[in-house]
Structure 1
Amino acid sequence: MAYSWDLPYLKEKTLVLSVNDREREVSLQEIGSLVPFKFPAGDASSIISIDVVAEGPTQVLVLADYDSKQSVFKQRTASQMTLVERDDSDRESTKEMIKDGFEIIDVDAVITFSFQIRLEGIGISVLNQRMQELIYVSMTGLELRYTDSNMYQSVNMMVKWLQIDNQLYGGSSPIILCPTQTPKDGKDAAAHPTLHSALVRAKDDTHGVVYFKYFSALLQELTVSMDEDFLYTLLEFSKFNVPGWTEDPSKIQLCDESLDVPEPVSKDDESQLFFEVLHLHPMKVNLSFMRSDHVNIEEAQQKTSSHNPIMYIFNVLTMAIGNIDAAPITLNALLLENVRASGPVLVDVLQRHYSQDFFYQLHLVVGSIEFLGNPVGLFNNLSSGVADFFYEPYQGFIMGDRPQDFGLGVVRGTSSLLKKTVFGFSDSIAKITGSVGKGLSAATMDKSFQERRRLGNQRNTPKHALSGFSKGATSLAQGVVSGVTGIVEQPLAGAQSGGVEGFFKGLGKAAVGVVTKPLVGVMDFTSNVTSGIRNTTTVFDRDQRRKRIPRHVPKNGILTMYDKSEALGQSWLKQVDSGQYFYDDYIAHLVLKGDNMVAMLTSKRIMVFRAENLKVEWELEFAEIQSIAPFPRGISITSRRDRQENFIPIFEQTSLTWFSGKIEEKVNQFNAELKPLE
């Protein structure tokens, strides 16, 4: 018989069976075999089995005669019922089952197949269309277990450590995703893995659904950080084609004007999934985003332009206020019982759940803006310090076995309060001044100045107060000098490229720069000093770094095995002389004996620099080279300009032959490309 609900607005709907003054409530959400229904029938009693089956979009309640041989439930004897009632009198679920006198037959599952994979570590390198390494995903302590029995299939996966690195050079966030809490040792990593998931599927095809007994997913607290340049590079890589973006708006129907209510129809290709328990644990994500210049995408895709005054002002403002630091987003747990849905519907439920949680916490994102000093982060640091101030002495007094534990607790609590207070206030001041300096830097309209400042901030992060003062003084001097020298250099550079019009444009940029660049220096000075004070409080904390240096891919685009030496050489080239040769293509390098010197060959020049401070000793472009002469102990290179001879000392014969061959090959290629032009 078909039925309809008497009270359809109730959240939990039950069907009531009534036989001879005996009632039984049945939930139609519980697909599968339920406890049989025992009711009086004259002088004796009768039993019917209850089963809930899915038939397309319909839930069907099947009532049949109870067959003890076929049913998974068996009747208890009177003595068993009395004994269990006496032992489990405080358990409501047990008393309910005892009332009908049935228990589940305990059938041991017979394992037919199982395997387990354990990997100490695995890495996945992702490259974009221009053969740049985009991200590197590293997982350690990866375990996967699969078990197949006559009743169930189970999958269990665990990852002790998960990290995603930004492999693009020039970015402000080298690590995109990693756990916030670093495990102390191997036991801690095993007890608190970054990712843990379990799935158990029942081999039951008689109820019209794909039957899952249990699904669980646990993700530890994560730190997610990315900048604008990486985000645009990721969008370029993915080439999103979202359905609906290209549709004609005139053809979109606002609502269906038909008043008929059709019967629900299930698609044949959409299998219905049923979960007895679906449990997604709560998650916390500390979200950071930095506005940045576009370094790794095509020039045609640059959205900011200094020729448009509106975009110029927008770029300056967003550079200052568009930076978010560690916004704490907490996503609540999701626990669903007896849920039946198709795959797309289930995904939609998850999306709505997490999107609502995120939008309800947008105020935390606003409160984490660096321009405001990250008030949310400041409050969390201060409250954590105050809590430690009272909690540590309490722990020493209650949990300690020695009299001095209370005193040690007082010391630890006071130290934590002072440390987190200094960290919080210095961090807020550093973020305010850094954001203002970033916006003023965008206002200078001097790309070379912005590039030097960006690379300098990345390479020379102050580790303590003294280095912060030194780095701040250097930034202040560079801002003042660049502003003064720009009065002469920028008009001349504009005249060389654009004639009279370029001269006046350069003059305008110089006028803006002479005011803004010293202000940038002042802001950078304050930011570096306060950052040094802040980092003094965390000098003993573990610093998270990339798992490996970004891969080097030759200019011909042929992907080869990862070479650590080539990756190191490319990394040096991107940073040497504060990024002055950032856009050169790496060819080869050779570490020289003595004084930590390195000889490097790029697509445009030969140079020698010091590896300890990445300062160039000398460099020559191919067009400036007069002659190259190999000697038994090195290579002599003569300059075309002043006939000065530069010598690369190489004492090992194999290295000399290899590096000489690389230079000869590149110079011959340069001459071949130059000859048609001549």
Structure 2
Amino acid sequence: MNIHETAELEEQYQQYLVDRSVQQVKKYYLDSKHEIDFGNMILKKNRERELHRTFYPGVWFKMNTSPYQMQLHAKINKIQIDNQLNDYIFPVVLAPIPPPKSVATTTVLKPFIEISVVQWVVPNSTVKQYKYATMLIQEFHFKVDLMFLTALADMFAAKVSDEQAAKLFNVNVESIEKPLSDLVETHSAQEQKNFYDNLHLGPIKIHVSFSMAGSDTTALPGILSTLVQGVGVTLTDVNDVVFRLAFFEREYQFFTQQQLTSEITAHYTGQALKQLYVLVLGLDVLGNPYGLVVGLKKGVEDLFYEPFQGAIQGPGEFAQGLALGVKSLFGHTVGGAAGAVSKITGAMGKGLAALTFDEEYQKKRRLHMNKKPQTFSEGIARSGKSLVMGFVDGVSGVVTKPVAGAREEGVEGFFKGVGKGMIGFVAQPTAGVVDFASGSFGAVRRAAEGQNEVSRLRAPRYVHQDNVIRPYCRAEAEGNRVFKEIEKGKYAGTDVFIHCEEVVPKHEFLVVSNHRVIHATKNDLFGTYSVQWKYRYENIDAFTPTDKGLEIRLKKQNKKVMGMFSTNEVVRKQIFIKDPKRRDRLIEILESQHKKL
């Protein structure tokens, strides 16, 4: 089955499982015309055909050997590398790009990387002869930011002691004193040449995105650090720049391992250098004009190509191809133009945010901008919120920044806060206007092009206070993510996450920290988490199980009414949890934190 049919069949099967769980009986169809019987796993297409639901393993490997040859066939069917930092620009570093809809209706699912090698076994010879060696890589995107690269370098950085450095220095000095011929002979003796009848590495198409936002420029003095960051972010960010690297092929040649690596590196380096103009013309500050022109060209091609492909199969497919062609042309023209404006304003917004001198504001803005909306209305709503919050933060910062600075650094901090407040009074509302324009045009682009953003496969691992790496727990990771996003991370700086109970799936949560209990709900339109109520443990009297869940009883509070009468009011909060095991476990966690007082 092709990619389109496989995806639709899986979607119908998941719906069947949901309907069966609630004992609902209905009919299911493939392409709205072929009936599917999931009970007996039969597809009625021209005739009854048996269905077998299976899956592609992440890595597939096969090797055959005989006295005369060795065959190796390996596949990496799908791979995705996520950015696990909490403060990020791009949530996904590497992921395959799905094929266009027209291709998905005619081809089967292909592996991301496929390698095939056939080696002749030559008796009484040390030379390895490869009859056939090929590798094919599908189109993919590669998105990195400077914070991710810095964290990666810190993780793999090896600390060299003074003694090791001295030994390495002496070895280098000795190699300089030796004649060059000795080194060449040594390397030649160590490496054995292999013979390649046919070596082919397929062409590579990469969508590259890079950002310097959030980079560390603290080594630079004073205001120069902020200016370098602001200008650097504005002038160096690129998004979805396409590099097309031609195939590498060699026939009937001898290579050592080092020579082969050198040839491949030189080939792809040369290919990349020839396309440096793509990198320059793909800068966000210019609106990626190269991508806009290539998109227009692709839209015009699809307008003629898609109907032609459909006409070969039949009149119905011709109409479908015509619709796909018109949609592609519309998406690449309207969506491309809106995307260009969105990128220009987005780059300006990043620069303005860097010039506010407010790291907390920059971090909140990054988290807000990195949450890509799923629908057009959601994109417009979030852009409007950015506009309003830009004015609110700018005006309120005039008062709050000096107070916060005085609390942290005294008189010096007060005057720093006054400066930050005055700059933010101008820069933050301006950044809000620019972000509103960027988000609105971005929503238009996504709606026109029908793009689906790639999301993380799982939330970042939660590391406990003891810094011990434990087996990954999805519940802990998702709970910690919700905790860090409640009111834009208001409690993440003061509290330690303990537990998160999902009361209503994907909407209502009870979050337990080491200081308080928080009842939060998710706003689906803005994608934010707001607090319904919160209580510190010293204000809580007891946790009591009930038939419907649990009850949180607060301590009596003497409240005066009209400044004269006092009431002994007891507040009770009900949490509805049907599963007794989940309820009892939650009460146990709450009581353990309550007893620590």
TM-score range, shorter chain: 0.7 to 0.9
Aligned CA distance change for structure 1 residues 261 and 144 (closer, same or farther; 3 Å):
closer
Aligned to 2:357, what secondary structure does the other structure show? coil
Query: What's the counterpart of residue 664 of structure 1?
Result: 591
Query: What's the counterpart of residue 501 of structure 2?
Result: 590
1:196 aligns with 2:111: no
Aligned CA distance change for structure 1 residues 376 and 473 (closer, same or farther; 3 Å):
same
Aligned to 1:578, what secondary structure does the other structure show? coil
Cα displacement string for residues 192-228 of structure 1 (whole angstroms, at most 9, x for unaligned residues) = 3211101122222433323322211111111111222
Deviates more, 1:585-594 or 1:416-425: 585-594
Query: What's the counterpart of residue 432 of structure 1?
Result: 344
Q: How many angstroms apart in 2 are the aligned matches of 1:405 and 1:617?
A: 52
The letter of the residue matching 1:439 is: G
1:571 Cα offset (Å): 2.2
Residue of structure 1 aligned with 2:130, choices 200, 212, 237: 212
Residue of structure 2 aligned with 1:616, choices 505, 514, 531: 531
Q: How many angstroms apart in 2 are the aligned matches of 1:233 and 1:501?
A: 32
Residue of structure 2 aligned with 1:284, choices 205, 211, 220: 205
Structure 1, gaps ≥5 residues long: 1-118, 123-138, 295-301, 672-678
1:529 Cα offset (Å): 1.4
Query: What's the counterpart of residue 442 of structure 1?
Result: 354
1:647 aligns with 2:573: yes
Structure whose residues are more often strand by fraction: 1
Aligned CA distance change for structure 1 residues 627 and 317 (closer, same or farther; 3 Å):
same
Root mean square deviation, CA, Å = 3.7
Aligned CA distance change for structure 1 residues 307 and 631 (closer, same or farther; 3 Å):
farther
User: Is the radius of gyration larger for structure 1 or structure 2?
Assistant: 1
Q: How many angstroms apart in 2 are the aligned matches of 1:407 and 1:515?
A: 53
Residue of structure 2 aligned with 1:479, choices 390, 398, 401: 390
The letter of the residue matching 1:428 is: A
1:470 Cα offset (Å): 2.6
Instruction: Give the alignment of 1:393-404 within 5 angstroms.
Output: 399=312, 402=315
Determine if contact 2:217/2:229 at 8 Å carries over to the other structure: no
The letter of the residue matching 1:292 is: A
Cα displacement string for residues 629-667 of structure 1 (whole angstroms, at most 9, x for unaligned residues) = 122332224499989846353555543432232123334
1:552 aligns with 2:478: no
The letter of the residue matching 2:114 is: H
Cα displacement string for residues 92-115 of structure 1 (whole angstroms, at most 9, x for unaligned residues) = xxxxxxxxxxxxxxxxxxxxxxxx
Aligned to 1:304, what secondary structure does the other structure show? coil
Residue of structure 2 aligned with 1:156, choices 69, 73, 92: 73
Residue of structure 1 aligned with 2:291, choices 377, 389, 411: 377
1:627 Cα offset (Å): 3.8
Q: Which has the higher contact order (CA 8 A, sep 6+)?
A: 2
1:365 aligns with 2:290: no
Q: How many angstroms apart in 1 are the aligned matches of 2:108 and 2:325?
A: 29
- Identity among equivalent pairs (%): 26
Aligned to 1:581, what secondary structure does the other structure show? coil
Instruction: Give the alignment of 1:630-641 within 5 angstroms.
Output: 630-633=543-546, 634-638=551-555
1:329 aligns with 2:231: no
Determine if contact 1:492/1:503 at 8 Å carries over to the other structure: yes
Residue of structure 1 aligned with 2:487, choices 577, 583, 595: 577
Instruction: Give the alignment of 1:4-43 within 5 angstroms.
Output: none
Query: What's the counterpart of residue 96 of structure 2?
Result: 179
The letter of the residue matching 2:286 is: L
Q: How many angstroms apart in 1 are the aligned matches of 2:114 and 2:439?
A: 40
Aligned CA distance change for structure 1 residues 507 and 311 (closer, same or farther; 3 Å):
same
Aligned to 1:162, what secondary structure does the other structure show? coil
Q: How many angstroms apart in 2 are the aligned matches of 1:196 and 1:639?
A: 68
1:172 Cα offset (Å): 2.6
Aligned CA distance change for structure 1 residues 195 and 379 (closer, same or farther; 3 Å):
same
Give the paired residue count: 521
Query: What's the counterpart of residue 339 of structure 1?
Result: 253
1:494 Cα offset (Å): 1.4
Aligned to 1:196, what secondary structure does the other structure show? strand
Q: How many angstroms apart in 2 are the aligned matches of 1:245 and 1:527?
A: 51
Residue of structure 1 aligned with 2:63, choices 146, 161, 165: 146
Q: How many angstroms apart in 1 are the aligned matches of 2:220 and 2:422?
A: 15
Query: What's the counterpart of residue 228 of structure 1?
Result: 146
1:168 Cα offset (Å): 2.6
Aligned to 2:151, what secondary structure does the other structure show? helix
Determine if contact 1:158/1:195 at 8 Å carries over to the other structure: yes
Structure whose residues are more often helix by fraction: 2
Determine if contact 2:90/2:370 at 8 Å carries over to the other structure: no
Determine if contact 2:137/2:204 at 8 Å carries over to the other structure: yes
1:146 Cα offset (Å): 0.7
Aligned CA distance change for structure 1 residues 351 and 205 (closer, same or farther; 3 Å):
farther
Query: What's the counterpart of residue 214 of structure 2?
Result: 293
